[in-house]
Amino acid sequence: MKSPCLSLVFLLSLFLAGPAFSEDPNAVPPIVAKGFEEFQRNGTLAAMNVWMAGSARETDAEQGQAVAKLNGVQGVFGRMVGYEIVRSVPLSPSTRRVYAAVKFEKGVAWISFDCYHTGADWIISRFDFATNANVVLPPSILGGQ
Protein backbone atom coordinates (compact mmCIF):
# COMPACT_ATOMS: atom_id res chain seq x y z
CA MET A 1 0.00 0.00 0.00
CA LYS A 2 1.33 3.42 -0.99
CA SER A 3 1.73 6.06 1.62
CA PRO A 4 -0.77 8.93 1.17
CA CYS A 5 1.94 11.32 2.30
CA LEU A 6 4.29 10.13 -0.46
CA SER A 7 1.54 10.54 -3.07
CA LEU A 8 0.82 14.05 -1.83
CA VAL A 9 4.52 14.99 -2.02
CA PHE A 10 4.70 13.62 -5.58
CA LEU A 11 1.62 15.56 -6.72
CA LEU A 12 2.83 18.72 -5.03
CA SER A 13 6.23 18.43 -6.72
CA LEU A 14 4.55 18.05 -10.12
CA PHE A 15 2.41 21.09 -9.44
CA LEU A 16 5.37 23.23 -8.41
CA ALA A 17 7.67 21.99 -11.18
CA GLY A 18 5.03 22.43 -13.91
CA PRO A 19 5.58 26.15 -14.52
CA ALA A 20 9.33 25.66 -14.80
CA PHE A 21 8.87 23.21 -17.65
CA SER A 22 5.85 24.78 -19.32
CA GLU A 23 7.62 27.78 -20.89
CA ASP A 24 9.10 27.11 -24.30
CA PRO A 25 12.81 28.04 -24.13
CA ASN A 26 12.66 29.07 -27.80
CA ALA A 27 9.63 31.32 -27.38
CA VAL A 28 9.87 34.92 -28.52
CA PRO A 29 9.27 37.49 -25.78
CA PRO A 30 6.03 39.38 -26.52
CA ILE A 31 7.79 42.77 -26.53
CA VAL A 32 9.47 41.85 -29.83
CA ALA A 33 6.20 41.16 -31.66
CA LYS A 34 4.50 44.17 -30.09
CA GLY A 35 7.27 46.44 -31.39
CA PHE A 36 6.99 45.00 -34.89
CA GLU A 37 3.22 45.53 -34.84
CA GLU A 38 3.75 49.16 -33.86
CA PHE A 39 6.42 49.52 -36.55
CA GLN A 40 4.01 48.36 -39.24
CA ARG A 41 1.03 50.41 -37.98
CA ASN A 42 2.58 53.59 -36.64
CA GLY A 43 6.20 53.78 -37.78
CA THR A 44 9.68 53.53 -36.39
CA LEU A 45 9.32 55.88 -33.43
CA ALA A 46 6.31 53.90 -32.13
CA ALA A 47 8.28 50.66 -32.49
CA MET A 48 11.28 52.09 -30.71
CA ASN A 49 9.09 53.34 -27.85
CA VAL A 50 7.83 49.77 -27.35
CA TRP A 51 11.21 48.09 -27.74
CA MET A 52 13.02 50.46 -25.37
CA ALA A 53 10.25 50.75 -22.74
CA GLY A 54 11.54 49.97 -19.26
CA SER A 55 15.15 49.53 -20.33
CA ALA A 56 18.17 51.70 -19.61
CA ARG A 57 17.92 52.82 -23.23
CA GLU A 58 14.41 54.23 -22.84
CA THR A 59 15.71 57.81 -22.78
CA ASP A 60 19.05 57.11 -24.45
CA ALA A 61 20.28 59.26 -27.36
CA GLU A 62 20.84 56.05 -29.31
CA GLN A 63 17.07 55.67 -29.61
CA GLY A 64 16.94 58.73 -31.90
CA GLN A 65 19.85 57.37 -33.94
CA ALA A 66 18.11 54.02 -34.32
CA VAL A 67 14.89 55.72 -35.47
CA ALA A 68 16.88 57.70 -38.04
CA LYS A 69 18.62 54.54 -39.26
CA LEU A 70 15.33 52.62 -39.60
CA ASN A 71 13.76 55.60 -41.39
CA GLY A 72 16.74 55.63 -43.77
CA VAL A 73 16.20 51.97 -44.60
CA GLN A 74 12.52 52.67 -45.26
CA GLY A 75 13.57 55.51 -47.56
CA VAL A 76 15.48 52.99 -49.69
CA PHE A 77 13.43 49.78 -49.28
CA GLY A 78 9.94 51.27 -48.94
CA ARG A 79 7.51 50.74 -46.11
CA MET A 80 7.77 47.86 -43.65
CA VAL A 81 5.35 45.09 -44.65
CA GLY A 82 6.10 42.40 -42.06
CA TYR A 83 8.70 40.39 -40.25
CA GLU A 84 9.80 36.81 -39.76
CA ILE A 85 11.46 35.38 -36.69
CA VAL A 86 14.62 33.59 -37.76
CA ARG A 87 15.52 32.14 -34.38
CA SER A 88 15.09 32.69 -30.65
CA VAL A 89 18.07 31.54 -28.62
CA PRO A 90 17.91 31.12 -24.84
CA LEU A 91 21.13 32.54 -23.38
CA SER A 92 20.17 31.94 -19.76
CA PRO A 93 16.92 31.33 -17.87
CA SER A 94 16.18 35.08 -17.93
CA THR A 95 17.66 36.13 -21.29
CA ARG A 96 17.02 35.43 -24.98
CA ARG A 97 18.51 36.66 -28.22
CA VAL A 98 15.95 36.95 -31.00
CA TYR A 99 16.95 37.21 -34.66
CA ALA A 100 14.44 38.46 -37.22
CA ALA A 101 14.10 39.43 -40.86
CA VAL A 102 12.33 42.76 -41.33
CA LYS A 103 10.43 42.74 -44.61
CA PHE A 104 10.08 45.93 -46.62
CA GLU A 105 8.46 46.49 -50.02
CA LYS A 106 11.81 46.38 -51.87
CA GLY A 107 14.12 44.42 -49.62
CA VAL A 108 14.90 42.85 -46.28
CA ALA A 109 16.89 43.97 -43.27
CA TRP A 110 18.08 42.03 -40.24
CA ILE A 111 17.67 42.71 -36.54
CA SER A 112 18.65 41.01 -33.32
CA PHE A 113 17.31 41.75 -29.85
CA ASP A 114 18.80 40.86 -26.48
CA CYS A 115 15.76 40.36 -24.26
CA TYR A 116 15.86 40.22 -20.48
CA HIS A 117 13.09 39.03 -18.18
CA THR A 118 13.09 41.29 -15.13
CA GLY A 119 10.81 38.96 -13.19
CA ALA A 120 7.75 41.02 -14.05
CA ASP A 121 8.18 41.85 -17.75
CA TRP A 122 10.48 41.45 -20.70
CA ILE A 123 12.68 44.39 -21.71
CA ILE A 124 15.11 44.78 -24.58
CA SER A 125 18.56 45.70 -23.35
CA ARG A 126 20.27 45.82 -26.77
CA PHE A 127 19.55 45.41 -30.45
CA ASP A 128 21.47 45.45 -33.73
CA PHE A 129 20.02 46.34 -37.10
CA ALA A 130 21.58 46.14 -40.58
CA THR A 131 20.70 45.51 -44.21
CA ASN A 132 23.61 43.07 -44.41
CA ALA A 133 22.78 39.72 -42.80
CA ASN A 134 26.48 39.10 -42.07
CA VAL A 135 26.50 42.04 -39.65
CA VAL A 136 23.64 40.79 -37.46
CA LEU A 137 23.29 37.05 -37.89
CA PRO A 138 25.91 34.63 -36.52
CA PRO A 139 27.66 32.19 -38.87
CA SER A 140 25.65 29.28 -37.38
CA ILE A 141 22.46 30.79 -38.83
CA LEU A 142 24.11 31.77 -42.12
CA GLY A 143 25.15 28.18 -42.83
CA GLY A 144 28.64 28.34 -41.33
CA GLN A 145 29.83 26.65 -38.20
The secondary structure of residue 110, as a DSSP letter, is: E
pLDDT at 16: 39
98 within 8 A of 29, measured Cβ to Cβ? yes
pLDDT tens digits for 31-82?
999 999 999 999 999 999 999 988 877 666 777 788 888 889 999 999 999 9
Is the pLDDT at 117 greater than 50? The verdict is: yes
Q: Render pLDDT for 92-107 as a digit per residue (tens, 0 to 9).
A: 999 999 999 999 999 9
The answer to whether 88 and 96 have CB atoms below 8 angstroms apart is yes
Q: Which amino acid is at 5?
A: C
Q: What whole-number percentage of the chain has pLDDT above 90?
A: 61
Helix (H) / strand (E) containing 33: helix 30-42
State yes or no: pLDDT of 141 exceeds 70.
yes
Q: Which residue has the higher pLDDT, 22 or 58?
A: 58
Residue 38 and residue 143: Cα distance in Å, rounded?
A: 31
* pLDDT value of position 25: 60
pLDDT-wise least confident of 9-18, 21-30, 81-90, 121-130:
9-18
Q: Is the pLDDT of residue 21 over 50?
A: no
Nearest to 54 by CA among 125, 144, 104: 125
